[in-house]
Structure 1
Amino acid sequence: MKKLVVLTILMVLFLPLTAQNGFVIDHTTADIHEIPQNWIDSAKAKLKIRYFRRSHGSHIDVGGMAALRRFSSEYAEKYDYNATGSGGALFLSTIWHSLDFENETWVQLTREYLDDAANAEINVVMWAWSSNFYLKDVDQYLIDMEALIADYGPNGSKILNGERNVPVTFIFHTACGQKSLSRNELVFLGNQKIRQHCQENDRILFDFNDIENYNPDGEYFGDGNADGS
């Protein structure tokens, strides 16, 4: 699973440079050699990414991008990233936080972060699910994401009224698998809702759950109850 995330996360990071409509990053988006060098250069020059996650989400930065840097000296420079974008690296700032639906603190945290003048250049926001996934939260998650897009996305209200100059691309995520079979069934239903929503509304989706259900050779092993590890 980690190998696929190493490959597909590059598409997540570089996609906002080229996508006019929605796009799904899943286990089929897995050939690192298909990423043009000019995409990588443009990503480093243009993207300012804020990534909110907990443990499972570390497959993207610590287990993904960092693994690429360790692969070879060439990759160490080519796929370098840090929290400020200094030294020609990709700007990828990560904070440990969970999607909390009891008080919707994640939504307020996102708004406060984007409204802070110090973060005026941020143009990509990603939130990763952790094991705190409940089917009842999915509808609210989709509502909240659309509200953020309506305010901060291209032609969003805060862009049009001048409160913010830089529009933000929000990347949707599916939830990781669970060890419990009954919980996995709920995760499946919730993820299907997220996939359908993104397809119908032309949103960008990082299909974490799909990726973790396939081995590096593209063979399905989801019946083994993947738990995101």
Structure 2
Amino acid sequence: MVAMLIMAGSGIGLYIAFFNSNNIGISIPFISKNDNNEIVDSGLLIVNHTHSHLEDFVVIPLEWINKSKEDLHIVYWHTSHGSQLTDGMDPLDEFMGNNDTYEYNSAGSGGALHLNEPASDDLTGNTNGFDDTTRTFLNANPIYNVIIWSWCGLDTNNASINAYLNNMNQLESEYPNKTFVYMTGHLDGSGEEGDVHYYNERIRSYCFTNNKTLYDFADIESYNPDDENYLVQYANDECYYDGDGDGVLEQGGDDASYNWAQYWQINHNGVDTYYNGGEWYSCSCAHSEPVNGNMKAYGAWYLFARIAGWNGTLL
């Protein structure tokens, strides 16, 4: 997706036009102003790889980390792929000095972030059922104000994606004081030409044009921490990619140079804590590699701080 800046007239300040792989352009307000030239909040919040570096995470003001822990009550439905987010969050506090700053638990006890992971469930094959599960849960547990559902494998058909978007929008209308976080599905090695990318683009476009909150799971794992794009080299969720351009993933081989995460980890400090020069930390990242889990965790805390009110950048 390519972005272009477009200046508009009265009523709107600055637009960003996004063009997807089919060259379909969508203009969305980045900085929006009313007729009195006052900046207004469009409601759009996109968290992607540009917010998921270690350097993005460490500059989140502590007051907004604490505000997240004070105000947010998060329920997160997922199975194994979705667990990458919390897999990365588990050892993060230790990496950051073991000060209990970045802890979470299912009850929000002891000053930790309140993040509840109900019994294993996800969106896959469930886009016409997750909404009723959500209603039942929220009606019984009204304290929760941030709702997240992840995919195991993205449903790649129009009916399922339409149902997902429509049901999320309906839930937002029924529970207007809660934040519903949309999510893309993990990479599968089919690249920009594949169905997964096509339907992920549909989710992104819907969120852009309708001012939704999106945690772009797929975009985060499309890049390494140095912003090198591996989606264009057919990367999959395990971080293998087509390193020699022959159209075949070197999946499962012994050569770490064909796994962007393994190669990056070998060449960066994964032994020390952050304040002692550490650049990544070990974590159990289902189906994937630790640095992918690291980036998912950084993006998650960025998301939570923004929902709590931090005035970070949108893109």
TM-score (norm 2): 0.58
Are positions 1:97 and 2:154 aligned together? no
Larger radius of gyration: 2
Are positions 1:39 and 2:64 aligned together? yes
Give, in whole Å, the separation in 1 of the partners of 2:210 and 2:153. Answer: 26
Among 180, 185, 189, which residue is 1:170 paired with? 180
Give, in whole Å, the separation in 2 of the partners of 1:43 and 1:130. Answer: 27
Among 6, 27, 39, which residue is 2:49 paired with? 27
Are positions 1:128 and 2:150 aligned together? yes
Check 1:100–1:111 CA distance in 2 against 1; reply closer, same or farther (3 A cut).
farther
| Aligned partners of 1:195 and 1:205 also within 8 Å | yes
Mean CA deviation greater in 184-193 or 202-211: 184-193
Check 1:121–1:178 CA distance in 2 against 1; reply closer, same or farther (3 A cut).
same
Give, in whole Å, the separation in 1 of the partners of 2:147 and 2:196. Answer: 23
Deviations 1:71-90 (A, max 9, x none): 1433x511000000000000
Are positions 1:106 and 2:115 aligned together? no
Residue number in structure 2 paired with 1:3: none
Per the alignment, in what secondary structure is the counterpart of residue 91 of structure 1? strand
Among 190, 196, 199, which residue is 2:199 paired with? 190
| Aligned partners of 1:149 and 1:168 also within 8 Å | yes
Code of the residue aligned with 2:102 in structure 1: it is Y
| Aligned partners of 1:100 and 1:106 also within 8 Å | no
Per the alignment, in what secondary structure is the counterpart of residue 49 of structure 1? strand
Residue number in structure 2 paired with 1:67: 91
Residue number in structure 2 paired with 1:202: 211
Give, in whole Å, the separation in 1 of the partners of 2:234 and 2:102. Answer: 32
Deviations 1:37-68 (A, max 9, x none): 11011001000000001111111112x21131
Percent of paired sites with the same residue: 34
Code of the residue aligned with 1:177 in structure 2: it is L
How many pairs does the alignment contain?
193
Mean CA deviation greater in 97-106 or 217-226: 97-106
Code of the residue aligned with 2:232 in structure 1: it is D
Per the alignment, in what secondary structure is the counterpart of residue 170 of structure 1? strand
Give, in whole Å, the separation in 1 of the partners of 2:155 and 2:136. Answer: 24
Code of the residue aligned with 1:130 in structure 2: it is C
Give, in whole Å, the separation in 1 of the partners of 2:44 and 2:144. Answer: 20
Residue number in structure 2 paired with 1:158: none
TM-score (norm 1): 0.78
Among 163, 170, 182, which residue is 1:140 paired with? 163
Code of the residue aligned with 1:196 in structure 2: it is S
Check 1:184–1:66 CA distance in 2 against 1; reply closer, same or farther (3 A cut).
farther
Check 1:197–1:134 CA distance in 2 against 1; reply closer, same or farther (3 A cut).
same
Per the alignment, in what secondary structure is the counterpart of residue 78 of structure 1? coil
Q: CA deviation at 1:102?
A: 5.7
Are positions 1:55 and 2:77 aligned together? no
Check 1:187–1:221 CA distance in 2 against 1; reply closer, same or farther (3 A cut).
same
Deviations 1:77-109 (A, max 9, x none): 110000000000000001220215468221111
